[in-house]
Copies of this chain bind each other. A is one copy, B any other.
Amino acid sequence: MTTDPLATLHARLRELQHLNQAMALLGWDHEVTMPPRGATGRAAQRATLAGVIHEKMVDAELGVLLEDLGNDPALTADDRANVREARRLRDRAVRLPRQLVHDLAETVGLAHAEWVAAREHDDWSRFAPHLARIVDLKRQEARALDIGDEPYDALLDEFEPGARTAALLPVFADLEAALRDLLAGLDTATPPPILPPGPYPRARQAALGREVLVAMGYDLAAGRLDVSAHPFSESMGPGDVRVTTRYDEDDLLSGLTATMHEGGHALYEQGLPEELRDLPAGQAVSLGIHESQSLLWENHVGRGRPFGTWLTGRLREHFPDRLAGLDPDHLVRVMNVVRPGLIRIEADEVTYNLHVILRLRIERALLNDELDVADIPHTWRELSRDLLGVEVPDDRRGALQDIHWCMGAIGYFPTYTLGKLYAAMFWNAARRDLPDLDTHLAAGDCQPLREWLGEHIHRQAARQPAADLCREVCGHHLRADDFVAHLRGKYAAPADPDTDPRE
């Protein structure tokens, strides 16, 4: 074994990453391939592996290595980033009392089945005591972590390192005002344009999905496309990044957009830098940046007019009996219908962030002890009415719709909105650098975009924090303007060109 401290650090960090990858496979298999009676054993395997990872993370020798190397002026920039990221991850692990980690894992383990049952029976009171316990434990977690200025900061920081609530709120406020304004001016009453009715056979949807993924630049020899209850992507390293989707034979576009979305995540993971393989600086930098990659492909490429030209041709060929006469303008109109609704994951580009803003308000209020868990359904109804103009008929389509809280993932929702904002910013930067982008996309040629993302985002990995990456690529900090301009360009009625900036 080596005695070079840097080599020792690399070996320890790679070991941790290999174990994280094994954990990722246990999770992927749980959703995609595991037989039902394997669930109990799988929970035990994951708990044990999580314990091993925690043990190795809090190991004192790793702490000493990171301390010593953190003061070493001879480190390369990449290794400074490795030390920074490793310290951040280790600090979190060290600050969390073992008992709290255990209690959270146990509470979350029990809460899942109760959330499923509560949703099935539309019975908030069944889930409420579990959520109350989770919120209490997350408050303890925030206190133990002691990051930022308010409890929510510590939770947000897990998913979006460096992000602070106080800095996000003004951006979210700008966004909210613009979305309310935009939504008020839209016709959401006329029946929306639709595709010819299905069935669109699953096997042909899968063949189309594979073709679209390959067009995006996804390497099927380093991944696979499967079906799961909820679409997701999972990485076991850049050579094995898997995508799942789901197919509705009556709704061709839901599976297709999910495939492009998860494909965008997967391109990021497949594009991480080989020279930092299995090291912390070589991983995705934050969930917000990750989400920007999925949304850039789903919304800016997939729902855009240029790519729609190519996509129309593919749809005509895959579904000649249904879509032989499909027109690209019609396809793009169908893909961009705006209708305020109850369900976040079904929401369009305009209303989606209002769902997130609703959840952010509730989460902060819970953490700051300004809202009782029992009152969430009432608050949910009021906020839905105010933000989206919709009446929530039951909790299964209201406060019980998302899995996140029962998993203990509080502070996660804002990263979806960060993803929207980053995606629009990166999209504008890419268009500035790639004047012929539309022509390429209209021909189904995504390579220039893929390469631009590879150079500016994917291969940057976590070499610098998300905020710095954003500033370097886009020339300024996180802001709502690019996203709002993108929406206005798509949805606002033509107006005075001086006050209505189009892309």
A123 at interface by CB-CB < 8 Å: no
Interface centre among A21, A25, A224 (most CB of B within 10 A): A25
Establish whether residues B35 and A239, one from each chain, have CB atoms under 8 Å apart when the complex forms. yes
A281 to B22, CA, bound (A): 26
A220 to B19, CA, bound (A): 29
Interfacial chain B residues near A242, Cβ < 8 Å: 35
A14 at interface by CB-CB < 8 Å: yes
* Contact string against B for A residues 282-326, beta-carbon threshold 8 Å, 1 for contact and 0 otherwise: 000000000000000000000000000000000000000000000
Chain A residues touching B, majority SS: helix
A115 to B38, CA, bound (A): 32
Question: Can you name the residue of chain B whose Cβ is closest to the Cβ of A19?
Answer: B48
Select one of B37, B42, B223 contacting A219, CB under 8 A: B37
The B-contacting residues of A in range 7-58, CB under 8 angstroms, are 14-15, 18-19, 21-22, 25-26, 29, 33-42, 44-45, 47-49, 51-52
A481 at interface by CB-CB < 8 Å: no
A221 to B34, CA, bound (A): 9
Establish whether residues A222 and B19, one from each chain, have CB atoms under 8 Å apart when the complex forms. no
Select one of B21, B49, B99, B223 contacting A35, CB under 8 A: B223
Identical chains in the assembly = 2
Establish whether residues A18 and B37, one from each chain, have CB atoms under 8 Å apart when the complex forms. no
CB distance from A311 to the nearest CB of B (A): 25
Interface centre among A26, A39, A239, A240 (most CB of B within 10 A): A240
Select one of B38, B48, B220, B222 contacting A18, CB under 8 A: B48
CB distance from A503 to the nearest CB of B (A): 36
A237 at interface by CB-CB < 8 Å: yes
A221 to B38, CA, bound (A): 8
Interfacial chain B residues near A238, Cβ < 8 Å: 41
Q: Which of under 10, 10 to 19, 20 to 34, or 35 or more describes the interface residues of A?
A: 35 or more
CB distance from A450 to the nearest CB of B (A): 17
Establish whether residues B278 and A35, one from each chain, have CB atoms under 8 Å apart when the complex forms. no
Interfacial chain B residues near A52, Cβ < 8 Å: 15, 19, 52
Question: Can you name the residue of chain B whose Cβ is closest to the Cβ of A238?
Answer: B41
**A18 touching B239 in the complex, CB below 8 Å, given contacts A29-B29, A35-B222:** no
Interfacial chain B residues near A26, Cβ < 8 Å: 22, 25
Interface centre among A14, A45, A99, A221 (most CB of B within 10 A): A45
A236 at interface by CB-CB < 8 Å: yes
Establish whether residues B38 and A222, one from each chain, have CB atoms under 8 Å apart when the complex forms. yes
Establish whether residues B44 and A278, one from each chain, have CB atoms under 8 Å apart when the complex forms. yes
Interfacial chain B residues near A49, Cβ < 8 Å: 18-19, 22
Establish whether residues B239 and A38, one from each chain, have CB atoms under 8 Å apart when the complex forms. yes
* Contact string against B for A residues 203-239, beta-carbon threshold 8 Å, 1 for contact and 0 otherwise: 0000000000000000111111000000000001111
Interfacial chain B residues near A39, Cβ < 8 Å: 239
A38 to B224, CA, bound (A): 11
**A18 touching B44 in the complex, CB below 8 Å, given contacts A25-B26, A25-B29, A29-B25:** yes
Interfacial chain B residues near A37, Cβ < 8 Å: 219, 221-222, 239-240
Establish whether residues A48 and B224, one from each chain, have CB atoms under 8 Å apart when the complex forms. no
Establish whether residues A51 and B221, one from each chain, have CB atoms under 8 Å apart when the complex forms. no
CB distance from A91 to the nearest CB of B (A): 23
Establish whether residues A38 and B220, one from each chain, have CB atoms under 8 Å apart when the complex forms. no
Establish whether residues B222 and A44, one from each chain, have CB atoms under 8 Å apart when the complex forms. no
**A236 touching B38 in the complex, CB below 8 Å, given contacts A33-B224, A44-B14:** yes
**A240 touching B22 in the complex, CB below 8 Å, given contacts A14-B44, A29-B29, A44-B14:** no
A35 to B234, CA, bound (A): 13
Interfacial chain B residues near A99, Cβ < 8 Å: 1
- Can you name 19 A-B residue pairings with CB atoms under 8 Å? A15-B51, A15-B52, A18-B45, A18-B47, A21-B41, A22-B26, A22-B49, A25-B25, A29-B29, A35-B220, A35-B222, A35-B242, A37-B222, A37-B239, A38-B239, A41-B236, A42-B236, A45-B237, A52-B52
Given A19-B52, A21-B45: 5 more A-B contacts, CB < 8 Å = A14-B48, A19-B49, A29-B29, A35-B222, A37-B221
Sorted nearest first, the 9 A-B pairs with minimum C-beta distance are: A38-B240, A41-B237, A18-B48, A37-B222, A37-B239, A18-B45, A38-B239, A41-B239, A37-B221
